[in-house]
Chain A
Amino acid sequence: MKLNLQQRLAATAATVCLLLPLATLPGCSESEASSTPVGGITPQQFADGVHAVMMADRTVYAKHVVTNLNKQDAPVKAFEYWEDTENSIPLPAQMFRMGAELVDENPEAGFTYALRSKWPLNEQHQAKTELEQTALDFLSENPGENFYGEEKLGDQKYFVAVYPDRAVAEACWSCHNDHPNRGDDYPEFAKDDVMGGVLVRIPL
């Protein structure tokens, strides 16, 4: 199971690497980022593309692996402490984060991605910049829309795309709603609710 997972993550990274050379990422404003230069794709198109790949893989994992195991009452379960527990596989969010770490280790990837939430069960997933906070607020107030923007971190300017992260599988909301780390203000999530955001960051 672990090998298959790694292979899948590697395939995701490879797909992303194939897409990357197509992208032209000159310094451009937010409005320019949405336009299509001749012979290339915009940062937004690139972000939309890699997001589509990563979310497809994650949805398949959550729906057809984790939920399916739960429904079958199989001995193997997705569990937060899977590395130290027999018959355990990573949670969808952990699988997603491990993929992000692999892409992060690839110097050719040219972008990073991460999960963010206004109600993070893992503190690492809380908004870390003003733009990220703005993006999460925007996603809450504008269901169904994506957020695009730019920000400067250190000496580097970035194009940032944040996509709504929805509850796609029963395993997602049931586990989140019952998680011991949830705070008092934690919403009771249901199918298709926006639980947070998937952030893609591209250096300009």
Chain B
Amino acid sequence: MMIQLKPIWNALRESPNGPKWLTWAAINLSIAAYFGYGLVAPASSHKTAWLPGETTHGHYQIELDCNACHDPGRSTEGPSGADVMQDACIRCHGAQLDLAKDTHPANKFRDPTNAERLKILDAQNCLTCHQEHVPEQTLSMGLTMPADYCWHCHQEVADSRPSHRGMAYDSCATAGCHNYHDNRALYEKYLDDHHGQSDHLELAALPQRSTLESLSGAFRAQQSLTIDDADHPSSWTTDPGFSENSASEDSLSGDSLLDDWATTAHASAGVNCSHCHRGDKDSAGDDAPWSEQVAIERCQQCHERQVESFKTGKHGMRLAAGLSPMTPDLARLPMHAGQAHAELDCSACHSGHRFDTQFAATDACLRCHADDHSLAYGDSSHAALWRDELAGNGPLGSGVSCATCHLPRLEGDSGIWVNHDQNASLRPNETMARQVCTHCHGLEYSLSALADPQTVASCFGDPPAERIKSVQMAHEWFEQQEAKRAARRDNR
């Protein structure tokens, strides 16, 4: 049945309260339109009204893309009403957990004998421990349940480990003891293997990168190029205005851009201007148009692992979600105001045509970051070592830059590569002990330093106030076990 609007409109006009009714209707329609648009709008500030509560530091960058977590269509298994958010967790964090040799994977609890336990604590669902939008109950690492959760399954731990008698269950997951997921630096054999190490190792140096071997794509180790080989548009060098506009602050002329490029590994490996500034040829074989901006996908052609890892950290996670690049003004950590709108892509740190890894390793970070830890770096002994190495007064790999700790050099199938997810070694920070600190420090010292908030804030300028006990405990455990074994042998 059609609603006749004209009689309603006339009645409202003739009614003494008509204007009030119309105003009421207009206000309600506006509110409905505002919220309705927020529901269907693409990721943008229009969705802010639908945020049910503050998002954790790990997810707030993508909080306006509600579908990142709530869209059932993004599951590789197809639409799933029950596991939408679980699927979303695994999409972004599954590979990281595999890499971390997750000690409590969901499949560990699939054994049907866990049925009763799972009713108390559903360890197969990420959201049991990691809810979103509940800032009032969110602890470190996004934990949203009481920190003594270990008790539910490990309340009898003292029977097999008498050394644990009397320990509080909310102390299990403090640094230097246990983590729920990543225990690569904390399991007892690893602790025992590193018992007795001195705080500062005699052979202290980082492994060297296998730059060529860690490349992906087709451009590796081809014939090297010189300035004369550069295949930029012919108008480029004759148009100073063009070159100035396209140059970064580090190199302001077309000639210096070419000079910079000619001295890099790019030129040595035969990577010409067009490889980065043009896309792939079209189906007719014609060149793609020249572009001053180099899309991250172009970098990814050769630096696949670096770009992929960049997108899993806080610097690149917005790009991974299809949003605009991260900028410092979006950060929750203190940042320098002057860089508020600098967009974070590859060229943010590897600027100009030098792709200077030394600049990217420290100066690029400190250009934006202004928290206590970053501000303290310059006066730290780590920074002094870095300056010594750059000045040629220290051996290769002896300096400690920001990248040393936050972009760790990892052993891969094709040599040493640099993980560009600067958060990976902080999930949790004991990860850094194994991947980075133990190149130069003993494990006990490393774990102790990482466990001390003051030491971290001072960028390791202050020594750890307390020593963690787990390394000694693990060693004593193995000694006791070995003593028992020896006694049995004697009695046979």
Residues of A in contact with B (beta carbons under 8 Å apart): 80-81, 83-84, 101, 104-105, 112, 114, 123, 128-129, 132, 153-154, 156, 158, 178-181, 201, 203
Contacts and interface: CB of A to CB of B under 8 A. Distances in A.
B13 interface: no
Given A84-B189, A181-B481, A156 B111 contact: no
A104 B101 CA distance: 17
Interface in B118-139: 118-119
A112 B160 CA distance: 27
B484 interface: yes
B95 to A, nearest CB: 16
8 contacts: A104-B110, A112-B110, A112-B112, A128-B111, A154-B112, A156-B115, A178-B489, A180-B485
A101 B105 CA distance: 11
A132 B113 contact: yes
Given A104-B107, A178-B485, 7 more contacts: A81-B189, A101-B107, A112-B112, A154-B118, A178-B488, A180-B484, A181-B481
Nearest to A85: B189
A80 B101 CA distance: 15
Nearest to B483: A180
A180 B478 contact: yes
Interface in B475-492: 478, 481-482, 484-485, 488-489
Contacts of A201: 112
Contact of B112 (A123, A156, A178): A156
Interface string B155-177: 00000100000000000000000
A80 B192 CA distance: 14
A165 to B, nearest CB: 17
Most buried by B among A84, A105, A201: A84
Q: 3 nearest interchain CB pairs?
A: A180-B481, A154-B115, A128-B113
A153 B112 contact: yes
B76 to A, nearest CB: 14
Given A84-B190, A180-B478, A129 B107 contact: no
Contacts of B113: 128-129, 132, 153
Contacts of A178: 485, 488-489
A146 B105 CA distance: 32
A154 B484 contact: no
A169 B189 CA distance: 26
Nearest to B112: A153
A203 B112 CA distance: 9
B476 to A, nearest CB: 13
B466 interface: no
A27 B200 CA distance: 65
B14 interface: no
Contacts of B485: 178-180
Nearest to A112: B111
B202 interface: no
Contacts of B119: 154
Contacts of A203: 112
Contacts of B160: 123
A197 to B, nearest CB: 14
A59 to B, nearest CB: 24
Contacts of B115: 153-154, 156
Contacts of A84: 189-190
A180 B487 CA distance: 11
B116 interface: yes
